[in-house]
Amino acid sequence: MPNLLVYIRRGLERKFKVNFHRFKERPDFLIVSPGGCGSITLLKYLDEFGKSNLYFERKYEKYNSLSGLLIGHIYKPNKYLIKNKIKILLIHRNYEDIYKSMVSRRFLRNSLNIMGDCFPFIYNHIFKDELKLKKKYFRYLDFFYNNWSSYDDNLILNLDYPDIYTNSNTQKKIKFFLNIENKDFLKNFPKFKKYKKTKEFVDPSSILMKSMYNIE
């Protein structure tokens, strides 16, 4: 069993970083979700159209697990984002599907920690109550999306997964929202592709992290 006290420290660090982080350069836009929303493909595609998540994570963030900022999972807008009027692409997904994705990838405990929960281990290591764990996770998803509902409507674009990859009108909204002039933006937009979780499957989130930080 892991040292559970580390999650309390990580949760507190997470709260501090989300509340007080200041970017060293002004982002053009950020892509945000609670996880389990198919954001990796969008992150990689939009990387070439402005200073966004991957730009800052490559240039400024060291690989330090949950204690890092984890830009893509900021669970509420802080004063920096509000003051500098940073554009946000917020990805939504059915809660059941997010939950199943996190469980299948064994990310649930870490996901709670990322959303500021200092005790994400209560219902899987101590009381072992899956129903209460699920209810708790759904409350944190409510917390996540409710926090972002207060952000300036002109600076946030709400997107649904997998609609992002299947609906041309949604893709046009992204192009308009980000003021992208590239004529091939819509033509080259990535298509929806569901993961095939075989024994050889490696989560793309892990692949991306390893490539950014040269982890073997």
pLDDT band for 53, please (50, 70, 90 cuts).
Answer: very high
pLDDT, residue 128, reads: 74
Q: Which domain holds residue 41?
A: 5-213
- Provide the domain count of the chain: 1
pLDDT band for 212, please (50, 70, 90 cuts).
Answer: very low
Residues 18-30, mean pLDDT to the nearest whole number: 93
pTM to 2 decimals? Answer: 0.85
**CB neighbour class for 202 (10 Å; exposed up to 12, middle 13-18, buried from 19):** exposed
pLDDT, residue 41, reads: 93
pLDDT, residue 25, reads: 93
pLDDT, residue 201, reads: 47
Specify whether the backbone of 181 is left (phi greater than 0), alpha (psi in -120 to 50) or beta: alpha
pLDDT, residue 59, reads: 85
